[in-house]
């Protein structure tokens, strides 16, 4: 099986056939970003993000920790929107007299 190379997380996420598959790919990327954020915070040395699971390689360069943080926030927001599409939003309506 050939190794797939991606230059951006977007192209990797969009290769998923289903919304659930996209959520799984986003979770993988967020996990790698969190590891990179920790390494960058401890060593202040950032070169590039590389997600490598043996079959897929994604390489993206981040200049500072703020870019990583904003990417994590954006991916988390997008992930939540995908979950809302799958499950729908749940609202709980209560009578104000029942609130303690």
Please tell me the distance from the alpha carbon of residue 46 to that of residue 21, in angstroms, as a whole number: 29
Please tell me the distance from the alpha carbon of residue 18 to that of residue 25, in angstroms, as a whole number: 11
Tokens of 89: 């939003």
Single pTM value for the model: 0.77
Chain segment 8-55, per-residue pLDDT in tens:
888 889 999 999 999 999 999 899 888 888 887 787 666 666 777 677
Phi, psi of 19, rounded to the nearest 5 degrees: -65, -40
- Domains of the chain by residue range: 4-86
Tell me what the pLDDT averaged over the chain comes to.
Answer: 83
């Amino acid at each position: 099986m050939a190794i797939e190379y991606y230059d951006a997380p977007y192209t990797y996420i969009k290769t998923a056939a289903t919304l659930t598959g996209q959520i799984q790919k986003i979770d993988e990327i967020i996990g790698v970003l969190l590891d990179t954020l920790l390494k960058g915070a401890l060593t202040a040395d950032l070169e590039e993000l590389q997600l490598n699971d043996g079959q897929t390689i994604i390489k993206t360069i981040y200049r500072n920790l703020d870019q990583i943080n904003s990417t994590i926030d954006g991916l988390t927001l997008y992930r939540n929107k995908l979950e809302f599409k799958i499950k729908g939003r749940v609202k709980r309506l209560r009578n104000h007299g029942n609130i303690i």
